[in-house]
Amino acid sequence: MPDSGVSRAQQERHEEHIVHTHPPTLPGTAAVAAARRVGLLVTLVLGGLTALPPLSMDMYLPALPAVTDSLHAPASTVQLTLTACLTGMALGQLVVGPMSDRWGRRKPLLLGMIVYVAATAICAFAPSAELLIGFRLLQGLAGAAGIVISRAVVRDLYDGDEMARFFSTLMLISGVAPVIAPVIGGQVLRFTDWRGIFAVLTVVGVLLTLVVWKWLHETLPEADRHTGGVGDALRTMRGLLADRVFTGYMVAGSLAFAALFAYVAASPFVVQEIYGASPQTFSLLFGVNSIGLIAVGQINGKILVGRVSLDKALGFGLAVISLAAVALLLMTSGVFGEVGLLPVAVGLFVLMSAMGLAMPNTNTQALMRTRHAAGSASALLGTSSFLIGAIASPLVGIAGEDTAVPMAVVQVVCALSAVACFLVLCRPWRNKTRSSDQPVRG
């Protein structure tokens, strides 16, 4: 692990380039306070970029049943609007990641944000499910810029345990989005229809674009940029995928994300249609689960990092996710007889909370091996997560709207597969020390 003092010095040098701050002649505590404000500003901007994808999807979740009625489409078709958005985010990262390694972080990010705003505004006027699916795909393609570049910026600024702590901090900020998004979505539905949700998202996109344009400056020096074309980008990605440990963390994290997204895609129908809860009750339960994820993420960043190895924390998180998924399968399949909403909600809360250990630590362990190509590595991490999540999304509704068993089956398969990838490919007991100075070359 690199020395934390070095990483802090690197962080301070980079932050001087990316945000406006007070002159370095400020005396004593004033200089310290200014430096803290700089770090907080970077955190808030990156947190906003990371929060945009869950905001785009979770505000929309309470409206899924209403969309099926409004557009006269079956639930499985409407769930494809989630799949399309995820697929777009996955494919877009493959393009934006290498672009950011070649042209820097700022220009591709601003371009993506502008297209995202336009696509989101168009979604509000979609007259059919098919067109809504198409516009959601475009929304995802553009929104990918915020996802992949925010991770790449973190890799530009941080290393080692500092990076793990920052990812946990990002989880705190971006985690506010899934807490408040369904609540906002449910409240918007009290005054307008589902189209109003996309109008709100358009305003959010405009504001975030302005924040990025004004305050997030370049973090990748020209000397560190790649000059090659598409072929060079493909060779870099091939070299990353050839690294067994990087691939292990990538796939394990992606499968854990798929278990989470199985819940995201199925929960509106499970909670509202099967258990008869209102959109507001669904929003409240979703928010409670998100709070659990945030809390565990903060325990990871503030308490565990530096005291417990990242692999141990990750392994424990994957184990808890697997146990929660098995419990949900037993409950939803009738092994314990008829169960109400409360036991199922508890199982989902445990599964979501354990993601606070799995998600930041898989990202950190993978990115610590990729100093030379953070954009491409971030693209692969994001693409893998969103593609597997996109596959999981339609599977949860394969048996219709009257059973939660498919959701639980998908979660069990994904969780156990994540554990297998972690053990077989990462082999944590054989790799106790991993240096970020072990670049993977194409």
Contact 381, 247 (CB under 8 A): no
Rg of the chain, C-alpha, whole Å: 21
Looking at the DSSP assignment, which residues form a beta bridge with residue 305?
308
User: How many angstroms separate the CA atoms of 234 and 378, rounded?
Assistant: 14
Output the CA–CA distances (angstroms, integers) from residue 404 to 191, 220, 263, 269, 293, in the order listed: 30, 46, 10, 9, 22
pLDDT at position 47 is 82
pLDDT at position 230 is 61
Smallest Cα–Cα separation from 263: which of 408, 388, 394? 408
| CB neighbour list of residue 325: distance below 8 Å, 6 or more residues apart | 259, 351, 408, 411, 412, 414, 415, 416
Six token digits for residue 439: 């670049």
DSSP string, 377-421: HHHHHHHHHHHHHHHHHHHTTTT-SS-SHHHHHHHHHHHHHHHHH
* More confident call, 408 vs 393: 408
Q: In which band, very low, low, confident or very high, does the pLDDT at 401 lie, cut at 50, 70 and 90? A: low
Residue 440 confidence (pLDDT) above 50: no
User: How many angstroms separate the CA atoms of 360 and 249, rounded?
Assistant: 11
User: How many angstroms separate the CA atoms of 411 and 408, rounded?
Assistant: 5
Residue 89 confidence (pLDDT) above 70: yes
* More confident call, 430 vs 385: 385
The pLDDT tens digits of the residues spanning 4-37 come to 344 444 444 444 444 443 333 333 444 334 434 4
Out of 52-61, 195-204, 359-368, least confident range: 52-61
| CB neighbour list of residue 231: distance below 8 Å, 6 or more residues apart | none
Q: In which band, very low, low, confident or very high, does the pLDDT at 285 lie, cut at 50, 70 and 90? A: confident
Six token digits for residue 291: 């709070």
Residue 394 confidence (pLDDT) above 70: yes
What does the DSSP 8-state code read for residue 423?
I
Residue 232 confidence (pLDDT) above 60: yes
Name the phi and psi angles at 386, rounded to 5: -75, -35
Range among 176-180, 196-200, 333-337 with highest mean pLDDT value: 196-200
* More confident call, 23 vs 358: 358
Range among 99-108, 134-143, 280-289 with highest mean pLDDT value: 134-143
* More confident call, 420 vs 233: 420
Percent of the chain with pLDDT over 70: 83
pLDDT at position 26 is 37
What's the rounded mean pLDDT across residues 341-349?
Answer: 89
pLDDT at position 122 is 93
Number of neighbouring beta carbons within 10 Å of residue 107: 12
Percent of the chain with pLDDT over 90: 21
User: How many angstroms separate the CA atoms of 264 and 116, rounded?
Assistant: 22
The pLDDT tens digits of the residues spanning 361-379 come to 898 888 887 766 777 888 8
Contacts of the segment 37-44: beta carbons below 8 A, 24+ positions apart: 39/11, 39/15, 41/215, 42/15, 42/18, 42/153, 42/157, 42/216, 43/166, 43/169, 43/170, 43/173, 44/173
What's the rounded mean pLDDT across residues 220-241?
Answer: 76
**Rounded (5°) CA angle 349-354-359:** 125
Burial classification of residue 323, based on how many CB atoms lie within 10 Å of its CB (0-12 exposed, 13-18 middle, 19 or more buried):
middle
Residue 257 confidence (pLDDT) above 90: no
* More confident call, 310 vs 15: 310
User: How many angstroms separate the CA atoms of 2 and 435, rounded?
Assistant: 7
Mean of per-residue pLDDT scores for the chain: 79
Residue 305 confidence (pLDDT) above 90: no
Contact 381, 321 (CB under 8 A): no
pLDDT at position 193 is 86
Contact 396, 407 (CB under 8 A): yes
Give me the amino acid identity at 277: A
Name the phi and psi angles at 316, rounded to 5: -65, -40
Quickly list H helices, 104-193.
106-123, 129-157, 160-191
Smallest Cα–Cα separation from 140: which of 160, 112, 162, 166? 112
